[in-house]
A and B are shown apart, each in its own frame.
Chain A
Amino acid sequence: MDHRSSSTKLCKYVAHEDFISNLPDGLKDKILCCLPIKEAVATCLLSRNWRYTWTSMTELMFRADDFTSENGNANDDKSRFLKFTDMFLSLHDGPILKFGLNTKDVQIYTGGHIYRWMLILSRKRIKELQLRTTMRDCYKIPSSFFSCHELESVYLRFCRLTTSQLPLLSKGFKQLHTLHLECCYILGGNNFGDLVASCPNLNKLILNRIYSLADINIHSTKLKMLTLDGHFKHLNLHTPCLTSAVIKLRPLPSDASKIRCNFNFSQFIASLSDVESISYLGPILERAEHELLVLKLPKSFNRLKRISLDLDLGNLKEANLALYLFQHAPYLQFINLQLTSNEPIVPAVHFWESIDRHVCLFQNVRAVGMINFTGSGAELGFLKLILEDAPVLKRAFINDNGKLGKDDLKNLLKLRRASKDAEIVIFSGSVPPV
């Protein structure tokens, strides 16, 4: 095979026989779907054979960027884009399996287009929907969305889901395996759980940068990957079969100091026996001062390989929880701690130093990251523990935000370590996740 020339022979070749027009319809469709949509429509001029081929394209991607002209003004470009898409959809014949919309850099203020297009799509047996819209387009999810019964994968951005709006006639999404909402509002009501319940095959649920005032109850035994990132007023999760859980609780923009979310972390983590990766950023303990409830926890988290937590190593309760996790996750490989330190009500003095060194806690840990390291007693104690304990540790990342003095840093580098390969890397900037 000639690997040297990069320009394909195809471009220079002039064909003597028309192979392309005689391809089976499915293949012609595939080729058209790889073209920018305007060029796909332009094939109607090639020959009689091609006149209507574009009208049955099954995968459509409409990019507002493709309609920007150098000289034109933005409004004209927008109008052309909207008109093109409207005309295309009205002339289209047959199923639309995949519909993508990308108006990322272009703001389309007239919201009606999403409703018009969704209504059409609901009659087109759509399977995959990707609406990458902009903030200004923030729209309420049209009710026709819930009639798209064959949906398998959904990506929506900058939209509002008023859960009490879930249409009564909605049969749910029986084939849906992936639902990804980005920068959305979920307002009031407690029907989000019903939505999830109506998706019996939901495998992956991603709610990123969400602002939710709703009661979110997620009960699913099929769900494998869950990401919840944002402000959630209330979370109740029963998802025992997760392999990956990412939960990042953000404070309200108006009240950056506190995260108000009704969520029981220890109960949640207790339910995840098969989980492989947990990333939890948010308060571990509820604000109420009750004893750490170590409920019916599984004997061990046998599959847990990665864990990422917000942790106050100096808080006795949090330290106990963390210790429990490390004791019951024998195959843990990567630990990432975002350290917090508040004035401890019950300080964990010498907690980490007093851990029994004869039991190997971090048997398989290869890397540990400690962000916002202040060099406090508890943090140093933990660092010493893991360095002296972990036999296969390769790297310990420490990010001190520039706060530690040179002597302190030098002392860190001198700490004893069990693993000969262990490296201590100190960053003053942002640390890459472990």
Chain B
Amino acid sequence: MAATTADGSKVVGGGEKSNVDEESKMITLFSSDGERFEVTQEAAAMSQTIHHMMEDGCVDDEGVHLPNVGSSILAMVIEYCNRHVASPDEKEDIRSFDAGFVNVEHHTLFDIIRAANYLDVKELMDLCCQTVADSIKSKSVEEIRELFGIVNDFTPEEEAEIRKENQWAFE
């Protein structure tokens, strides 16, 4: 079965071989808006949340319902897991895949972070958090606020006070 990614391209679950290989078991995932995704158990197991459910036998014939993850985000997470499970040793390829994967709009990236957190996909969380951190590095406070839409609720005096309090950090 295919999963649709955010830009409309279709990705086959688990790499091409899983459709032919009858041994690799498939598992059905349901997004919050009821869309259905078929994934190999191997790819699904990258999510510790789902992995534990499989281990504890909590997955019934119907599949796993993920009320916290929307279909477009779930599709992306599945794409990530599929890619990482398919050829975990090709480091260069994976690196460029990862770079392209996080090259998305803000709100999407944060949705992915939340989904990865809920599903407990450690590698994806690390990747996304590092991406956010990289965008913060070497920026001034004002630039960071602008980038993330953080409202400055300090008065100028308060801000000066905090700077003085933490002078040791700004020397």
**Chain A residues within an 8 Å CB radius of B104:** 9
Does A113 touch B at the CB level, under 8 Å?
no
Closest Cβ neighbor of A76 among chain B residues: B171
Q: Taking A1-B100, A2-B103, A23-B110 as contacts, is the C-beta distance between A13 and B150 under 8 angstroms?
A: no
Contact between A6 and B136 (Cβ–Cβ < 8 Å)? Answer: no
Q: Is the CB of B97 within 8 A of A48?
A: no
Taking a contact as CB atoms under 8 Å apart, the answer to whether B103 and A15 are in contact is no
Residues of B within 8 A of A23 (CB): 110, 113-114
Cβ of A26 and Cβ of B117 under 8 Å apart? yes
Please report the number of residue pairs spanning A and B whose Cβ atoms sit closer than 8 angstroms. Answer: 135
Which residues in chain B, 103-149, are within 8 Å of chain A measured between CB atoms? 103-107, 109-110, 113-114, 117, 125-126, 129-138, 141, 144-149
Give the chain B neighbours of A44 by CB distance below 8 A: 162, 166, 169
Pick from A30, A35, A88: contact of B125, CB under 8 Å: A30
Q: Is B151 an interface residue (CB 8 A)?
A: yes
Mark contacts of B62-100 with chain A using CB atoms, 8 A cut-off: 1 yes-contact digit, 0 otherwise: 000000000000000001000000000000000011011
With contacts A27-B129, A31-B132, A47-B145 taken as known, whether A41 is within 8 angstroms of B166 at the C-beta atoms is yes
Whether B60 sits at the interface, judged by CB under 8 Å, is no
Q: Specify the chain B residue showing the minimal Cβ separation from A35.
A: B133
For B130, list chain A residues within 8 Å (CB): 34
Partner of B106 from A6, A15, A26 at Cβ < 8 Å: A15
Contact B162 A45 (CB under 8 A): yes
A-contacting 9-mer, from B12-20, B26-34, B41-49, B152-160: B152-160
B163 interface residue (CB < 8 Å to A):
yes
CB distance from B70 to the nearest CB of A (A): 15
Contact mask A1-14 → B, CB, 8 Å, 1/0? Answer: 11101101111011
Give Cα A30 to B129, complex, Å.
7
Given A9-B103, A10-B109, are A15 and B148 neighbors across the interface (CB < 8 Å)? Answer: yes
Could you tell me the distance in whole angstroms from the C-beta of A254 to the nearest C-beta in chain B? 45
- The CB with the most chain B CB atoms within 10 A, among A1, A24, A43, A51, is that of A1
* Alpha-carbon distance between A83 and B109 when the two chains are bound, in angstroms: 37
Name which residue of chain B comes closest to A16, CB basis.
B149
The answer to whether A14 touches B146 (Cβ under 8 A) is yes
User: In the complex, which of the residues B103, B144, B151, B162 has the most CB atoms of chain A within 10 Å of its own CB atom?
Assistant: B103
Contact B152 A47 (CB under 8 A): yes
- Asked if A105 is an interface residue, CB under 8 A from chain B, the answer is no
Q: Are A1 and B136 in contact (CB under 8 A)?
A: no
Residue on A with the closest CB to B109?
Answer: A10
Which B residue's beta carbon lies closest to that of A87?
Answer: B168
> How extensive is the interface on chain B, given as a class?
35 or more
Task: State the main secondary structure of chain A at its contact with B.
Answer: helix
Q: Which residues of B contact A3 (CB under 8 A)?
A: 96-97, 99-100
Among candidates B5, B125, B166, B168, residue contacting A83 with C-beta atoms closer than 8 Å: B168
The residue of chain A having its C-beta at the shortest distance from the C-beta of B159 within the complex is: A45
The B-contacting residues of A in range 35-53, CB under 8 angstroms, are 35-36, 38-39, 41-51
Majority secondary structure of chain B interface residues (helix, strand, loop or mixed): helix
Complex contact B147–A15 (CB within 8 A) = yes
Measured in the bound complex, the distance between the Cα atoms of B130 and A5 in whole Å is 18
A165 at the interface (CB under 8 A from B): no
Considering the complex, give the chain A residue whose CB is closest to the CB of B139: A39
A46 touches B144 (CB 8 A): yes
Are B100 and A39 interface neighbours, CB within 8 A?
A: no
Provide the residues of chain B in CB contact with A45, threshold 8 Å. 141, 154, 159, 162-163
> B7 at the A/B interface (Cβ < 8 Å)?
yes
* Interfacial chain A residues near B152, Cβ < 8 Å: 46-47
Instruction: Give the contacts of A207-235 with B (CB-CB under 8 A).
Output: none
Instruction: Return the CB mask of A191-215 against B: 1 if under 8 Å, else 0.
Output: 0000000000000000000000000
Alpha-carbon separation in the docked complex, A19 to B153 (Å): 16
Q: Are B137 and A36 in contact (CB under 8 A)?
A: yes
Q: Are B96 and A84 in contact (CB under 8 A)?
A: no
Distance to closest chain A CB from B140 (angstroms): 9
Max chain B C-beta neighbours (<10 A), residue from A8, A21, A43: A8
Residues of A close to B135: CB separation below 8 A: 8, 10-11
The CA of A2 and the CA of B102, in the complex, are separated in Å by 10
- A33 CB to closest chain B CB (Å) equals 8
A20/B132 contact (C-beta < 8 A), A3-B97, A30-B125 known? yes
Complex alpha-carbon distance, A283 and B165, angstroms: 62
Q: What's the Cα separation between A6 and B104 when bound, in Å? A: 11
> Chain A residues near B171 (CB, 8 Å)?
80, 83-84
Residues on B with C-beta less than 8 A from A343 are none
* Smallest Cβ-Cβ distance to A34: which chain B residue: B133
**Selected A-B contacts with CB under 8 Å, 27 pairs:** A1-B7, A1-B9, A1-B101, A10-B102, A10-B131, A10-B135, A14-B146, A14-B149, A15-B106, A15-B146, A18-B150, A19-B148, A20-B132, A20-B150, A21-B148, A23-B114, A31-B133, A31-B136, A34-B133, A39-B137, A42-B170, A43-B136, A45-B163, A46-B150, A47-B151, A48-B153, A84-B171
Please give me the 8 A-B residue pairs with the lowest Cβ-Cβ distance, nearest first: A15-B149, A34-B133, A3-B100, A19-B110, A41-B169, A18-B149, A87-B168, A30-B129
